[in-house]
Structure 1
Amino acid sequence: MIWAYRIPILSPNFALQSRQMNFRIKATFLFLLLVFQAFSWNAFAQQSSTLEINQADLLRGANGFERLLGNVKMTHQNSLIYCDSAHFFRNENRAQLFGNVKIEDLQDPIVTTGRYAEYDGNTKIAKLRNNVRFTNQETTLTTDYLDYNRETNIATYFNKGKVVDSVNVLTSERGVYEVNLEKITFLDDVVLENPDYTLKTGNLEYYTIPKTSETVGLTNIVSKEGYTLDAQKGSFYDTQKKQFRFFDGIVENETSRIKAMELFYDENLAYYEGKEDVRVLNKERDVEVFGDEGKYWEEKKYSLIYGNSLVRRYFEKDTLYLAADTLISQDSEADTAKFLLAFHKIRLFKTDLAGISDSLKYNYSDSSIQLFQDPVLWNNKSQIEADTMIFYIANEQLDRVFMKDKAFAIMTDTLLNYNQMKGRKMTGYFKEGQIETLQVDGNGESLYFALEADTLTQGVNRILSANIKMVFKDGAVQKANFMVRPDGKFTPVQKLDDKTSKLEGFQWRIEEKPDKATIDAWRKVVEIDPKMKNLFDEPDVKIEMPTERQIQEKLKKSNLNYP
């Protein structure tokens, strides 16, 4: 077999082309190698925790460290470090910084300054002292003692500090600034000053975005208008929306006081909302209302209270109590629109007065109380009832009462007999808390016992007359006037029975009469402690007594001998 080979014929330029190709391959390889090295070096530089010297006017060696003097500039990861001079402990990867210290973060807008600092490149902790200033955009923290952990982005200050942003100024003894969360926790003697109010508390958490704060424990506030806002169990504030939430809180001004276990207040709307043990005091009216939940509109002076509601009308020597399911109070500027409405299961109690009804209206303008749907009123020895009833209190006592439709009055005399009057309309006048005069207009009927020397019952006078007027003393009839064709009958005591001794419709309902125990069972009020602790009562400056040693040293400096 014959093998044949084809030998390529090379052109004269082959050697030149080959050298050019080899050069291009080498150049490309070298470029890729440089790019890889540069990438690797940048990645290493970003991950390295080594402190680097960038600049110094003078470098001197010392025992265990290097002295950097004048315009010192150092680098650590994403931070630039400036100072007047430094002691650089290269082996320990830390530095002591002196004079005009400045640490600037290249990624976050955080700049920290002070007169002295210790910076540890391993732990990434900077300890700054004297005139420290920590700035993050609009928020600035100033103190004399600050530890800043760049790894966690948390700054901790102690021995007093102040934080200022676009709205608030906050000071405290200690604090923690969590930059990533935009959260600052203030501890011990916290004071928040705002254009609208000043707050004092022992523990406060403040979010720089969206400028909200939350307190734990006792919190006291004074607004620029003189309002006081206090909370025993902490609070929450949105300083931009001007919305507040208090826990076991009280809001008070010159004309009102509002309290609740949870109290919400919107300053822009002048609106309050309370839950659990709500109470609203109108200082001008001496009226305080209580309930499980409530709402109050300050400008309208309108309040809604519901859930075991209670009213206390304060007098100089006595208090009128009113229990109901729901209360509505309106105290606007117009006299005709100043009233209190109460609905369902009405119970009234005062030392010399008690009453029940389904609903009630109290007019602030004339101090009249109107009762609706089967109202009954007891006053000392008397009981009166009608479909509707209006009574007035003057000089802390029942003054007069007007009854309409099915009016019925019962008065007990000294022998506990029931003197009775009924009619379409009835008006009663009181003196020193007891009925003095009763006048019936329309369909009048009367039944009263004739007494002998207030010790013996002779019989019963029963008279029908369109209009009747009677004068009483200690429940006994002193004088009677019958205006239109009276029709009367006398029944001696020997012939008295239930039919002859009672008018039709008679009901002695004394078992329904409410008393103080009835009111307390409905809602037992826990009174506000007037000596409750308030941080504004404590002096800002604490005077500490000097020790015996301090006294002697001061005497020696004054060239005085200690006796």
Structure 2
Amino acid sequence: MKKPALFLAIAICCLSGFETLAQISVPFKSKTDDSIHNVFIWHSDTLRELRKDSIAIQSLFGHVKLQSEKTFFYTDSLAMNHKDNIIEAFGHVHINDKDSTDIYSDYMKYFVDTKKIIFQKNVQLLDGKGTLSTDELHYDMNMHIGDYYNGGKVVNKNTTVTSQEGTYYADTKDVYFKKNVKLKDPAYDLSADSLIYNSEKQLATFITTTFIRDSSGRTISTRDGFYDMKNHRAQFGKRPTITDKGETITADNIHFEDSTGISTAQGNAVFQDTVQSLTLISNLMIANKKTNTFLATQQPLIILKQDKDSIYITGDTVFSANIPDSVLRTPDSVQGMAIVRKAANPNDSSLRYLQIYHHVRIFSDSLQAVADSVYYSGLDSIFRLYINPVAWAGGYQVTGDTMFLYTKNKKPDRLFAFENSLVVGKSYTNMYNQIKGNTLNGYFKDGVIDYMRAKGSAEAVYYIKDDSMNLVGVNRVNKADVIDMIFLNKQLNKVVLREDADGVMYPIRKAKIDELKLRNFKWLDYRRPKTKYELFREAPEPQAVPEEKTGPVNEERKDTIQGLR
């Protein structure tokens, strides 16, 4: 018998049936480098040696306490095998590692050479911040790392995380969960293939595709980021998507804080409202859930989706909020009851308004417009254009001090311009059809311009063509109460003067074209977004060029004009 074993045998003979009161050093010789590792027996009710197949097994029974370096072992009984350098513990196993981590189980196998432990049956690991439960845990005392491979659970206050596999890092209080990860929290439910959770900071870090559902029903899909459960804030990366009651937002990065209700989306952010068929794109969006407000900057673009002719709107800044209750609850003589009923549902996205300000540009196939600022209400579906608004429809330009665009089912329905309203359409080089009035209404049919009406001190200049579409004259209306422009297939078909019209018609050869411009005339076609791709680049104002002196049309000019179709 080797000296360590002989020493232990003598101790067993002396102490059998008695409680040990002083520590006994039990040396284990390494099989690889002949080094000695001492295990100290602090307490045992009984010590006994058994021999099986020439292998001596020292057994300790009753309130056993051992020490290996800074780790203490407690158990009902254990067996020490010096040949294989293994210590096995049975019943109420408990170890305390570095006075910071406690592990409990029904069974433990300690490999003395490698300082690795296998815990089995009813395993629990406690670190003062959370509890890890599993049926089998492999623990490395050198690295202070534990692994489970057959299902485990971590409970930290009100948060529970389960997974098929996991790795616990005692020094950092991190748990790396793998395979079928589920996190349950009073505020959130989470599922992922992998997740890192810090029990001390209550911080979940997302490293693979992760799906989250909060208590309000909002869902989040992300592949990167973190959620701080202690401070109720989160950040998501790699194009996360958040869906909330028919509204979806995705961006390169999204950050939000529950305490303030503020969330920020950065980098190619896309917001979609499926109820209103509205899409908003920008590089920066800021939303406040508590005030239900929304701000978008850095080239924001609004798309009002339609089957054939969507409306595109851009500006420097987009702001959205709920329509105030004072407005919602104001009865209207015709539809007041409908307004009051709508007010009972404050979460209805149709009860919001949009403010788009500075360098506003609007495009659809049937209508284009520019202005300094626009206000849109979901309650009445009216775009209100302020400060130098200009609109184009059916090849005609409309200007006025203020302009209202009424929509129906996201299509233009009526255009109303008041104060200094003027309609201009180009007929030929330096020749423009013009209608002016105190107010102007343009009416659309199925989203296409149908007719326009100028009313109040109306004036007009329009060029007349024969059935072959040759220019034959120009009509100068000095005064009329009402002037209508009738369109066909987006083109001017005829002009109708109503009530007390006073005007003169000039043959085209005798018309002084340069003088046939109404007050405040400006041709602003260079500002018109001709496609949706031109919304973010407005052409500079062209330099003034001396206009051709037309005068009466000569024979050569007459032939050119008459040949124009």
Coarse TM-score class (shorter-chain normalised)? 0.7 to 0.9
2 CA distance for matches of 1:285 and 1:333?
19
* 1:244 match: 234
Q: Does 1:514 align with 2:502?
A: no
2 CA distance for matches of 1:473 and 1:120?
93
* 2:158 match: 167
Displacement of 1:138: 4.4
* 1:493 match: 508
Q: Does 1:350 align with 2:367?
A: no
2 CA distance for matches of 1:137 and 1:499?
90
Q: Does 1:479 align with 2:496?
A: yes
* 1:50 match: 38
2 CA distance for matches of 1:318 and 1:354?
12
Displacement of 1:349: 1.1
Paired AA for residue 467 in structure 1: D
Paired AA for residue 86 in structure 2: R
Aligned runs of 1:422-461 on 2, under 5 Å? 422-453=436-467, 455-461=469-475
| Residue pair 1:82, 1:100 contacting (<8 A) in 2 also | no
1 CA distance for matches of 2:249 and 2:109?
52
1 CA distance for matches of 2:366 and 2:419?
25
Q: Does 1:60 align with 2:50?
A: yes
* 1:539 match: none
| Residue pair 1:183, 1:208 contacting (<8 A) in 2 also | yes
| Structure 1 unmatched ranges of 5 or more | 1-40, 523-563
* 2:87 match: 95
2 CA distance for matches of 1:333 and 1:93?
78
| Residue pair 2:309, 2:366 contacting (<8 A) in 1 also | no
1 CA distance for matches of 2:448 and 2:118?
82
Tell me the secondary structure at the aligned position of residue 476 of structure 2.
strand
Displacement of 1:221: 0.4
Displacement of 1:166: 1.0
Displacement of 1:109: 4.8
* 1:404 match: 418
1 CA distance for matches of 2:429 and 2:407?
28
**TM-score, with length taken from structure 2:** 0.76
| Structure 2 unmatched ranges of 5 or more | 1-21, 27-35, 329-350, 538-565
* 2:268 match: 277
Aligned runs of 1:60-79 on 2, under 5 Å? 60-62=50-52, 63-68=54-59, 70-71=61-62, 73-77=64-68, 78-79=70-71
Decide which moves more: 53-62 or 345-354: 53-62
Query: Closer, same or farther in 2 for the Cα pair 1:286/1:254, shift >3 Å?
Result: same
* 1:375 match: 389
Query: Closer, same or farther in 2 for the Cα pair 1:517/1:69, shift >3 Å?
Result: same
Tell me the secondary structure at the aligned position of residue 65 of structure 1.
strand
The alignment covers a number of residue pairs equal to 478
Decide which moves more: 76-85 or 440-449: 76-85
Tell me the secondary structure at the aligned position of residue 514 of structure 2.
coil
Displacement of 1:328: 0.5
* 1:158 match: 149
Query: Closer, same or farther in 2 for the Cα pair 1:416/1:106, shift >3 Å?
Result: closer
* 2:127 match: 136
Query: Closer, same or farther in 2 for the Cα pair 1:503/1:231, shift >3 Å?
Result: same
1 CA distance for matches of 2:458 and 2:279?
40
Displacement of 1:173: 2.8
2 CA distance for matches of 1:405 and 1:314?
31
Paired AA for residue 397 in structure 1: K
| Residue pair 2:443, 2:450 contacting (<8 A) in 1 also | yes
Paired AA for residue 209 in structure 2: L
1 CA distance for matches of 2:147 and 2:448?
73
1 CA distance for matches of 2:56 and 2:310?
82
Q: Deviations over 1:276-299 (max 9, x none)?
A: 122333344332222111111224
State which structure, 1 or 2, has the greater radius of gyration over its C-alpha atoms.
1
Paired AA for residue 372 in structure 2: D
Displacement of 1:497: 4.6
| Residue pair 2:176, 2:195 contacting (<8 A) in 1 also | yes
2 CA distance for matches of 1:65 and 1:520?
88
2 CA distance for matches of 1:151 and 1:435?
80
Q: Equivalent pairs: percent with the same residue?
A: 23
RMSD over aligned CA atoms reads 3.2
Tell me the secondary structure at the aligned position of residue 171 of structure 2.
helix
| Residue pair 1:143, 1:161 contacting (<8 A) in 2 also | yes
2 CA distance for matches of 1:132 and 1:156?
12
Name which of 403, 415, 434 aligns with 1:420.
Answer: 434
| Residue pair 1:439, 1:467 contacting (<8 A) in 2 also | no
Q: Deviations over 1:427-466 (max 9, x none)?
A: 2223344444433344421012333336343311101126
* 1:536 match: none
Name which of 245, 251, 256 aligns with 2:247.
Answer: 256
* 2:559 match: none
2 CA distance for matches of 1:365 and 1:494?
53
* 2:201 match: 210
* 2:557 match: none
Query: Closer, same or farther in 2 for the Cα pair 1:464/1:507, shift >3 Å?
Result: same
